Structure 1
């Protein structure tokens, strides 16, 4: 029975074009993804569309996408889908005024999707400013959930060199994203 299969087996079956494995993944993750999308968009139709698009892309790219942690992959994809939806809806970049959040506690909940989009945009810009190899290693570590050993194997570097690149990326991004510190703290305190 597919419903009892671990994630790793389902991913292997999915890569082998197994539609039942895809249905099992869909049933397992659709509701949690929808709930998250709905919390971020406050619109049932948009949330459903975003989640459907994620599963469509998962199926279309099943043979080409290497996924280490399916749940992390799906929720990261959802986060970027919501951010792109919000950016498209806004039609332009909003000015960052994180300091206002501290003075307006009622505005925090309403501003969270916009602020998250701004943070994601700033993070992407910060990563683009990193040296190419450092940015690549950072993405593997933080977005693809790869271990230091896995990254070392992929890149041909030592684990120590991989750790160095991750440390340099974090140091640079910390400076680049310092204006979002208040916002991040407020998010974690919710």
Structure 2
């Protein structure tokens, strides 16, 4: 982990340099160039990170990860290409990796769900002991036809392949696939319409179920 104290690097002349010059200096391990790049883009990257993950704490972590990546990869940055586009691409890729990490980590998932609990409408709660999010998804599943719900549960809960489900239900694998595609589309729409969940949390809930 690199710790940079930006105020110590505040030299006015660096703020007048174009990106290309800063990147060339950065490739030569100039920490002042890195400091200016950070000051120039950190707010914009934070705003983009917020659009991706919605949670300030996660967005701050994303910004830190992005600029650590920039420092570590400074020798490989192609100065002739758009640096701003490169920053956004790094942020987007790191956000995707972060989502996968959260989806695979039970503690992180619970922390994220708990973060959002206060914004769920009270009407969504009807069973003691269920979190608002699990209950909301259960409500959506209860709206499915019996066959579609059974196929969903066999695929998601029982971890069966489309071929296995097709053999058990005596239907074609393509029919199973179509049911799952329609079901997942319905669940995404239901969650968007009945809650204030962000796209990130919707994605995570689909992973949990």
Question: In angstroms, what is the RMSD of aligned CA positions?
Answer: 3.0
Asked whether the equivalents of residues 46 and 63 of structure 2 are also in contact (C-alpha less than 8 Å), the reply is yes
Q: TM-score, normalised by structure 2?
A: 0.47
Asked whether the equivalents of residues 54 and 198 of structure 2 are also in contact (C-alpha less than 8 Å), the reply is no
1:12 matched residue in structure 2: 24
Q: TM-score, normalised by structure 1?
A: 0.51
1:185 matched residue in structure 2: none
Alpha-carbon offset, residue 65 of structure 1? 3.0
Task: Give ranges in structure 2 of 5+ residues lacking alignment.
Answer: 1-12, 106-155, 157-179, 205-209
1:127 matched residue in structure 2: none
Give, in whole Å, the separation in 2 of the partners of 1:12 and 1:116: 39
1:50 matched residue in structure 2: 62
1:130 matched residue in structure 2: none
Query: Are 1:76 and 2:163 an aligned pair?
Result: no
Give, in whole Å, the separation in 1 of the partners of 2:195 and 2:93: 20
Evaluate the alpha carbon distance shift between residue 5 and residue 108 of structure 1 in structure 2; reply closer, same or farther with a 3 A threshold: farther
Asked whether the equivalents of residues 15 and 62 of structure 1 are also in contact (C-alpha less than 8 Å), the reply is yes
Query: Are 1:29 and 2:41 an aligned pair?
Result: yes
SS of the aligned residue for 1:113 comes to helix
Q: Where do 1:1-190 residues align within 5 Å?
A: 1-67=13-79, 68-91=81-104, 97-98=184-185, 101=188, 106=193, 110=197, 112-113=199-200
Q: Deviations along 1:127-169, whole A, 9 cap, x unmatched?
A: xxxxxxxxxxxxxxxxxxxxxxxxxxxxxxxxxxxxxxxxxxx
Larger Rg, first or second structure (1 or 2): 2
Asked whether the equivalents of residues 51 and 78 of structure 1 are also in contact (C-alpha less than 8 Å), the reply is yes
Asked whether the equivalents of residues 101 and 107 of structure 1 are also in contact (C-alpha less than 8 Å), the reply is no
Asked whether the equivalents of residues 40 and 113 of structure 1 are also in contact (C-alpha less than 8 Å), the reply is yes
Tell me how many residue pairs correspond in the alignment.
116
Asked whether the equivalents of residues 14 and 22 of structure 1 are also in contact (C-alpha less than 8 Å), the reply is yes
1:124 matched residue in structure 2: none
Asked whether the equivalents of residues 83 and 116 of structure 1 are also in contact (C-alpha less than 8 Å), the reply is no
Asked whether the equivalents of residues 101 and 108 of structure 1 are also in contact (C-alpha less than 8 Å), the reply is no
Alpha-carbon offset, residue 45 of structure 1? 2.0
Q: Deviations along 1:57-89, whole A, 9 cap, x unmatched?
A: 111121123251111111111111111111111
Moved more, 53-62 or 100-109: 100-109
